[in-house]
Amino acid sequence: MAASLSYFSGVSLSATEKPSIPSLSTSHNRRACFSNSSRNKYKHHDCASLSSRWKPPCTARAIKIVAAAKKEPLKVMIAGAPASGKGTQCELIKNKFGLVHISAGDLLRAEIATGSENGKKAKEFMEKGMLVPDEIVVMMVKDRLMKPDVEQNGWLLDGYPRSLSQAMALENLGIRPDIFILLEVSDELLVERVVGRRLDPVTGKIYHLKYSPPENEEIASRLTQRFDDTEEKVKLRLKTHYQNVESVIAIYESVMFKVNGDVSKEEVFAEIDKGISSILENNRTLDSASMAAGVAQ
């Protein structure tokens, strides 16, 4: 609203301010109004009603119209089991809709690297081999969501919240998505994706022995496997994921959008595109209705 007021103050006057009118003495006023008998009635009318004719602009009404026309940025959350394809889909969503991609894990590492207050607190727990408390991570997310680029372009929260306590903390801060995308992938396919995953320690690029093999033998020879990318470990991770995701789903049921993640990445994104586009179209309709209401008042 402050911006709207600032904008209008540049082109109009406040409701209590009138434009400066040159003061006329009584004699000069009388001469101006009656010096020409043929125009007496017109001159007299002009002098008598000049100030009464001026009315302050409908500043309040104009502000209402601007406020109604202001578009809220899009807010998206995406969730899924390990290897469900969140990273791939986040990249596609970011490129199509211009949202700011926010990963809690990346955010945590960045806060620690910059030495922020939240980062220092998180580092203390990590150095002791302890999990970073929800309240610290939630504050990191909150602070990031308040940055100018996010407020202007909207946000895409990747893989967070992961538990009921995290979801409730965001709810208490008034942080809620327009759409919660849940990628559903069969356990069999998830295990295959994880077990076949490999990391190039030189470039940091992720490969898959079946779906995205290395370009040559030199790269293949140096690939490594993460210690927890085994069938046994991934099944434990999936069990934990399913225990937590059910409670999160309950919070966001009204904005839930489930997508079959067993198909190709192109087909998955086509469904996601439909869901997000539907939200944007609905928002445009609401904006138009608000604009019309603002004009009518």
Can you tell me whether residue 281 is helix, strand or coil?
Answer: helix
Query: Tokens 């085994």 — which residue?
Result: 230
Active-site hit among 75, 86, 193, 198: 86
d(CA 138, CA 121): 13
Q: What is the CA radius of gyration of the chain?
A: 31
61: number of Cβ within 10 Å: 12
Residue 86 among the catalytic residues: yes
d(CA 16, CA 270): 55
Active-site hit among 121, 144, 197, 198: 197
Active-site hit among 121, 162, 193, 198: 162
Q: How many residues does the chain have?
A: 297
Active-site hit among 226, 239, 274, 284: 226
Residue 176 among the catalytic residues: no
d(CA 196, CA 193): 6
Are the CB atoms for 99 and 154 separated by under 8 Å? yes
Residue 147 among the catalytic residues: no
| Strand-pair partners of 155 | 75, 100
For residue 115, give both structure tokens.
């030495």
Which residues belong to the active site?
A: 86, 162, 197, 226, 237
